[in-house]
Every structure is written in structure tokens, then in C-alpha cells.
């Protein structure tokens, strides 16, 4: 099939949704589909068979695009619509694949060109928007209604987790394909990855977080919990990988204020290709996320790492994790600290959880499982398109 994909993010950069888009593009290329990708002006190109990238050309150009909703994204999405309209006039596409808020652009294109769209759902946008911006709350009903139309009118909906699939099922009974993220563990040359114990002077146990440092990730909560751990374990250190410099400075100041500055190491971003080598240096991995229902992409790599995981006992985690694969704790400082301390003191339990988690990833969240879901999705779309053509004759 020939697909027009709309990805309203910087691409390619190493953060959540762009990584997920990249994984999908590789899979579509492997299955010999042709994809024209419309995306933002920021990012690295990817060279996959059948892929062409069309970048917006805004004037003026925003230098940076933060995670989540922003005025800059609305501005850039208008240029995405312009580029998509141009491509639709020049080429004949079988389907439009719309990521996140670009589904609203796809609804316009569907009406103008009679080309169906797939809604790639990474979040329930109206809830996310109202949670982040109080001024949008009076508009919640309108926002949710508009989002429900996007779900109903899609040829298929592709949520990234079970909770989003349940939300989509409120508005349609079929055509929902859960496309979970996969582990980003790759073989890497460990000799080329820094030895954190040497560079940071770590002598005891290592707790590690990897990911962005947005508020919903719960880094304040993690630091407060680690401060409790530090009271009973004077040998443990916390390593935080990822984040923007302003966030790193803010959390470093908080760690100092909590009295754990010397034992908290915010080392900034590291390459995705090396993520496995870094996780291998940890004793325990942590996911302190406090908000949202979608499962963090990092969780699949955590589960595949061979290291035990401590996570908040919220649906963002529990739709993938349970007590056999992770230490789950309520999103309370004392409870989360107790879970980390318990695993630090019980290496055999760490080993059991890590082995169980790795087995579950191999069975349910592997690249092969991802590929099977993509294949099922494309087969269903081809069947629906063929049925629509027969009906129109």
C-alpha cells in the first residue's frame, strides 16, 4: 500500500513518540509498504526502503519543540496540513496514518479526498490537555466530543495500550488494534559505554531512572522517596539518565535541598543504542510515573534488561506489569521508598522479578509480536478498502 503518514513531532530524535514512529516505519518498510512521511523541520533523516520524508518549512522556524501541547505545535501543524494537501493533490494514497493530534488534519483530508485514515492513538488528548491546562477544563465536553468523532470516523484505531483501547471501544466496536511499544534493548559494544561506577565513583547499589524529566514522570516524588531510602541504606546511589538542562538543574537543586545531592547523579541524555549497557550497570530500575494511562515506552526496555523494576501501582504500569514482574507500590513516598529498600536487601527477589519480566517481554512484547500486529492491521485495512471498492461499483 501507499501510505501518507502524518507525524507532528520532531523526527527523528530520541524521545518517546518519535522513537515509536521510527519503529513503525521500519516495520512498514520491512513489509514493503511505501510511506510518505510529513513531519516537522527538526530531526535526523532515516533511510528505509520505500520511505520518503517531507519536512515542513515554517517561517519563522521554532528552534525547539517541547513535549506535549504548545502554541509552537499548533503553528507547525498548519504547515503540516499545507504539505499534506500538496502531496494528496499529487499522489494517490490508499490510506492516511495519523499520529496523535494530526488525526484532525486527517479528518480534513478524508473529507476532501475520500481517503480513509488510521488513528494512531498515543493518549486521550482531551484528558491530557485538561489535566495540564486548567483554562481548557470548561471546554472538556467539546474537546472529548471532537476526539470521539476522530475515533468513530477512522478506518482503524491503533492505541498504544489497553487503557486507550478501552477508551476507544466506548465509541466503536471493531477496528481497534493495540500496538504496544517494544523493548529498545539492542546489542551494543559495552566497551564504548562509560562505566558509571568509575566515572561517578559509585561503590554500593545503583537505582536508575531513564527517560524525560517532565512533571508527570514523578521525578520530584522519586527524589523524595530516595531521600527516605538513603536514611536506611548509606551505600545506595540514584542515577538519572535523560532530561533537558533546565530540568536537570532544577532537580539537582532539589536533591541538594533533600540532603542527597552527593548520592544523586543527573547525567543527562545518553544514546538509545546504549540503553541496554547502562541498565546493565543498575541493580534496580525505577518508574515513578504519577499521571497518564499510557504505558511508558521505557517499561518494555526495563522488563527486557535483566534488572528488577520498582514502579507505581497505577494503571499506566499495571496494564503491563504485575506482582510477578515488578515491585509495585502506591504513589506515596514512604511506600515507594519501602519497595526500593526491600529489593535492595533481597537480591534473590530481584533476580526472580527480572527473569519473569524478561520472559513476558519475549512472549508478548517482542519485535515479532509488534510485527504481527502491524501485519494484521494492514491486512484488515486492505480488506476494508477492497470491500468499499466492491460496494461502490
pLDDT of 187:
57
Beta strands in the chain (DSSP E): 2-7, 34-39, 51-55, 95-99, 117-121, 156-159, 206-210, 237-241, 264-268, 284-287, 308-312, 327-329
The ranges of the chain with pLDDT < 50 are 189
pLDDT of 220:
96
Q: Considering the chain, what percentage of its residues have pLDDT values greater than 90?
A: 74
pLDDT of 132:
74
Task: Show contacts of 357-362: CB within 8 Å, 24+ apart.
Answer: 357/302, 357/303, 357/304, 357/308, 357/309, 357/321, 357/325, 357/326, 358/303, 358/304, 358/305, 358/306, 360/303, 360/325, 361/183, 361/300, 361/303, 361/304
The pLDDT mean for the chain works out to: 91
C-alpha cell at 64: 525547539
pLDDT of 389:
66
What are the structural domains, with CATH classification, of the chain?
A: 2-182+366-392 (3.40.50.2000), 190-364 (3.40.50.2000)
Taking CA atoms, 19 is separated from 114, 174, 352, in Å, by 30, 27, 30
pLDDT of 71:
83
Amino acid at each position: 500500500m501507499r501510505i501518507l503518514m502524518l507525524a507532528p513531532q520532531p523526527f527523528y530524535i530520541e524521545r518517546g513518540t518519535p522513537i515509536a514512529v521510527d519503529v513503525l516505519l521500519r516495520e512498514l518498510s520491512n513489509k514493503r509498504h511505501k510511506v510518505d512521511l510529513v513531519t516537522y523541520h527538526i530531526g535526523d533523516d532515516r533511510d528505509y526502503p520505500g520511505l520518503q520524508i517531507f519536512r515542513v518549512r515554517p517561517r519563522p522556524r521554532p528552534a525547539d519543540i517541547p513535549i506535549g501541547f504548545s502554541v509552537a505545535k499548533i503553528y507547525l501543524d498548519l504547515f503540516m496540513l499545507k504539505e499534506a494537501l500538496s502531496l494528496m493533490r499529487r499522489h494517490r494514497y490508499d490510506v492516511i496514518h495519523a499520529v496523535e493530534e494530526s488525526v484532525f488534519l486527517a479528518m480534513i483530508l478524508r473529507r476532501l479526498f475520500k481517503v480513509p485514515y488510521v488513528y494512531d492513538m498515543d493518549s486521550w488528548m482531551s484528558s491530557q490537555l485538561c489535566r495540564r491546562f486548567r483554562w481548557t477544563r470548561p471546554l472538556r465536553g467539546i474537546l472529548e466530543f471532537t476526539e470521539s468523532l476522530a475515533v468513530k470516523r477512522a478506518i482503524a484505531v491503533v492505541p498504544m495500550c489497553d487503557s486507550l483501547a478501552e477508551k476507544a471501544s466506548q465509541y466503536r466496536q471493531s477496528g481497534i488494534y493495540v500496538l504496544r511499544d517494544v523493548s529498545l534493548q539492542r546489542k551494543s559494544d559495552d566497551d564504548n559505554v562509560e562505566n558509571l561506577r568509575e566515572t561517578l565513583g559509585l561503590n554500593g547499589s545503583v537505582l536508575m531512572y531513564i527517560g524525560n524529566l517532565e512533571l508527570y514522570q514523578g521525578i520530584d516524588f522519586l527524589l523524595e522517596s530516595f531521600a527516605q531510602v538513603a536514611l536506611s541504606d548509606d551505600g545506595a546511589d540514584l542515577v538519572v539518565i535523560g532530561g533537558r538542562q533546565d530540568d536537570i538543574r532544577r532537580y539537582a537543586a532539589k536533591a541538594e535541598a533533600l540532603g542527597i545531592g552527593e548520592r544523586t547523579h543527573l547525567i543527562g541524555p545518553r544514546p538509545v543504542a546504549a540503553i541496554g549497557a547502562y541498565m546493565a550497570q543498575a541493580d534496580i530500575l525505577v518508574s515513578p510515573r504519577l499521571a497518564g494511562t499510557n504505558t511508558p515506552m521505557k517499561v518494555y526496555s526495563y522488563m527486557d534488561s535483566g534488572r528488577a523494576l520498582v514502579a507505581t501501582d497505577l494503571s499506566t504500569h499495571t496494564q503491563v506489569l504485575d506482582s510477578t514482574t515488578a515491585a509495585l507500590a502506591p504513589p506515596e513516598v514512604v511506600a515507594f521508598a519501602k519497595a526500593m529498600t526491600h529489593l535492595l536487601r533481597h537480591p534473590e527477589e530481584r533476580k526472580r522479578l527480572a527473569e519473569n519480566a524478561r520472559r513476558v517481554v519475549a512472549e508478548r512484547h517482542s519485535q515479532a509480536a509488534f510485527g504481527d500486529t502491524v501485519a494484521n492491521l494492514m491486512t484488515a485495512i486492505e480488506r476494508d478498502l477492497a470491500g468499499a471498492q466492491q460496494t461502490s461499483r
